[in-house]
Copies of this chain bind each other. A is one copy, B any other.
């Protein structure tokens, strides 16, 4: 397949840190332009909004949408309506209903829609999934604890409706868990700690169960200082699997079998190219649905104000 011309909608921090280097390493894509009202990239034609970009570059066949979450739906709808393949940064929407509508539209337009859960491309994920396939799961512990002041400085949006608070990193853990565990699971109980001055939880404790009765516990916390924790531990058939450091390190029965540098966005763009080549879409709504379930069914406890 020759290179497809790609436009980036949004040219903020995640684009400069992750999308840009990954696209430059992916032969399937060639970056043609950006659309962002406030930002641009060196040596890339810049527009302030998507329609102007597509008008000027009608040969752009695919776009990556990396805008703030609340803007993704209108942008994606417009891009799909103009017949472009669309990659959506995580989460794929501010609500579930809008993601369902995009799935329908992509199918009508016969273009690719890809909800990109970047954490699923961490180095150990594929091997963990393969090892767990067809095993009986006894229990799972997900621990995703990071210091919001270190990782999200000044990101006021994360505390607003749609920002999801600690579920912004937590949804990454859920995107891995839903990928590697062999059966779907269901929320039984959730507790959300809500700082009294913001709109999103700073910590959450979730209890799921799968159809075979395995207990899946998740602890998300934005108040972690010191060492940071992005770990999933699985007990299965008298063996244990630990996928730690956000999916970079994999150990079976305590023995490290993989320990690699993160290269998530590289794999993500490869997969986007494959999907376009195959004429398929891939929109797994499960991670966002689990977050919505926690917001719908969770017990909220007010906790001390968050002052950055």
Q: A residues bordering B, Cβ < 8 Å?
A: 73, 77, 94-98, 100-101, 161-162, 164, 184-187, 190, 199, 211, 286, 289-293, 295-300
Contacts and interface: CB of A to CB of B under 8 A. Distances in A.
Nearest to A69: B297
Given A199-B300, A300-B199, A97 B186 contact: yes
Given A100-B289, A211-B101, A292-B292, A297 B184 contact: no
Nearest to A191: B161
Nearest to A291: B296
Contact of A97 (B94, B95, B100, B293): B293
A305 to B, nearest CB: 13
Contacts of A77: 211
Contact of A161 (B97, B184, B290, B299): B299
Contacts of A161: 190, 297-299
| Across the A-B interface, the 6 shortest Cβ-Cβ residue pairs | A95-B293, A292-B292, A295-B295, A295-B296, A292-B296, A98-B186
Nearest to A163: B297
A101 B297 CA distance: 17
A168 B299 CA distance: 17
B184 A97 contact: yes
A39 B164 CA distance: 42
Contact of A199 (B97, B199, B299): B299
A187 B94 CA distance: 9
Contact of A96 (B98, B190, B289, B298): B289
A297 B186 contact: no
Nearest to A162: B297
Contacts of A164: 296
B299 A97 contact: no
16 contacts: A94-B297, A95-B187, A95-B293, A96-B96, A97-B184, A97-B185, A97-B186, A97-B290, A161-B297, A161-B299, A162-B296, A164-B296, A292-B296, A295-B295, A295-B296, A296-B296
A299 B162 CA distance: 9
A95 B295 contact: no
Given A97-B293, A161-B298, A292-B292, 4 more contacts: A97-B184, A98-B186, A292-B293, A296-B296
